[in-house]
Amino acid sequence: MKKILIISLTVVLAGCFTAKAVKKTEGEIEKTPTTQAHPYQSEVDRVQAKFPGYTVTDLERGKGLYEQHCMQCHELFHPASHNEDQWRKIVPNMANLVNKKGAVLDASGEEDILKYVITMSGS
């Protein structure tokens, strides 16, 4: 019994850390747990009116924080899986959960993540 429990737990944990291919159907955005959209200057240019002075370096920092903190609890969602309004609700809630788990994600880091996902979502 103990051996079965250990094997089952190992399988579950392995599934948590394994990239899963999610079949993309019409209207569905696939999850990309190991690779996120890479910010390019064209995305920065597109959001300059929304985020004046924002740079590719800023977006890279947001991407890094997104991967570092969000992947601790679940698969990463491609930024296009949600629109701007949805991300503006999701990110603060998730940042609160991250901080409750003992990590430190300050307001600046939360804002970097939010700007990254909004920019890369195409919103």
Note the pTM of the prediction, 2 decimals. 0.67
Nearest to 120, CA basis, from 72, 84, 69? 84
* 13, containing H or E segment: helix 2-16
Domain ranges for the chain, please list them. 31-121
CB of 36 closer than 8 Å to CB of 70: no
pLDDT, tens only, 49-71: 999 999 999 999 999 999 987 88
Tokens representing residue 89 in the block = 């609700």
Tokens representing residue 98 in the block = 């991250």
pLDDT, tens only, 17-37: 333 333 333 344 444 444 455
What is the structure's pLDDT at 98?
82
CB of 87 closer than 8 Å to CB of 39: no
Interatomic CA distance for residues 59 and 121, integer angstroms: 12
Interatomic CA distance for residues 36 and 91, integer angstroms: 16
pLDDT, tens only, 69-98: 788 788 888 999 999 999 999 999 988 888
pLDDT band per the 50, 70, 90 thresholds, residue 42: confident
